[in-house]
Structure 1
Amino acid sequence: MKLLCSVSSPTRGTRAERKLIIKMLKKGVHPKAIFHDLYVKKKGGGYSQIDLVVATPQGLVVIEVKDYSGWLFGNEKQRYWTQILNYGREKYRFYNPIMQNTGHIKALREQSEQFARLSIYNIVLFGGNCRLKDISYSQFDTFVGYTGDIMEVLKTVSGFGDAEYTDKREVVRVLCEAIRNGENPAIVASHVAEVQNRNWNCPQSVMNWRPRFLRINWRRWRRF
């Protein structure tokens, strides 16, 4: 709890996000480099909610954290990915998290000329009891994996060239302001309503298998 509170509040974000923060802190990531549960104001109105941003010398690591179970399938170009549960008996679709995080990055780039030029990495990490069965993407600045991969991701990013920061104080100011936005109930409520309206974080059922003995033969039923 003490570690977590050096970065965020125990009431903000999801359990998977908070566990990821603690993992990074235990591995030596400086608490001032981690920004949690940000609400970035978009140019066209509304807010983009970002789970985590880690500031590194090589740029900003923007992390979308998902907590799923089952088998997951998808690629960077598909609008929806697939979740398979119950040994194939249940099938759901959910919005492509790479595209979702791309929208978050777009909102960050709109903040200033520095953000527009800054190196920003699109990272999607899954917690929970899930298996990434067939996930593909090609961008060098994108990574999809498990929350346990976070230190490997940061190690890979550290091998890239240094980012062109022109004003680090501005970066900190914008990110901290986005965190404060998350303390405003009106901002949070409006964003939650937008997410629910677009079904971004709600897997939608596309198949629900039923045992044969529960199926009804409607042709035979009509004969009675």
Structure 2
Amino acid sequence: MYNPLMQHRGHVEAIQAHLGDYKRVRLISMVTFTNRCRISVDPAVRYVQSDELIIYDHELVETILRKTERLESEVPETVYKEQDIQAIFEMLSSANSTDPQIRAEHMEKAKGIK
């Protein structure tokens, strides 16, 4: 089985590579697992202070709420204007391939990552 954390890290790096003038955007990364899995990772990524969180699915809503609250206390005002948010959205949307063949090739390549 491929390593989902490595695959996720690759996706985060791909997002960062496509941010253009917005390289300093703070990304919050979350990977969730069901209770059927046992999470054996560095405890630091289990706490809301981290920007790379690995949690169980039943913790998702609470973690998002706690993380949002923490971020709002750190930076109480909006950092980006609506036009910046739209520009970021458009950059990432244009990088997201919808071509079925390209997506299939990506999936095959991802299967090789262990």
Note the aligned Cα RMSD (angstroms).
2.5
In structure 2, the CA distance between the partners of 1:164 and 1:104, relative to structure 1 (3 Å rule), is: farther
Larger helix proportion, structure 1 or 2?
2
Relative contact order (C-alpha < 8 Å, sep 6+): which is higher?
A: 2
SS of 2:44's equivalent in the other structure is: coil
- The C-alpha deviation readout for 1:90-137, integer Å capped at 9, x for no partner, is xxx75261x4322222111111121x10110121100262233x4324
Q: Percent identity?
A: 21
Q: Equivalent residue of 1:144, what SS?
A: strand
Change (3 A) 1:143 1:150: same
In structure 2, distance between residues paired with 1:106 and 1:138: 20
Q: Give the letter for the 2:53 counterpart.
A: F
Question: Partners in 2 of 1:119 and 1:154 — Cα distance?
Answer: 15
Shift of 1:169: 0.8
Match of 1:150 among 60, 72, 84: 60
Structure 1: tracts of 5 or more residues without a match:
1-92, 200-224
Query: Gapped runs of 5+ residues in structure 2?
Result: none
| Alignment length (residue pairs) | 102
Report the counterpart of residue 91 of structure 2 in structure 1: 174
Q: Which has the higher strand share?
A: 1
Counterpart CA distance in 1 for 2:37 and 2:59 is: 14
Preserved contact between residue 118 and residue 165 of structure 1 (Cα < 8 Å): no
Contact 2:3 2:113 in 1 (8 A): no
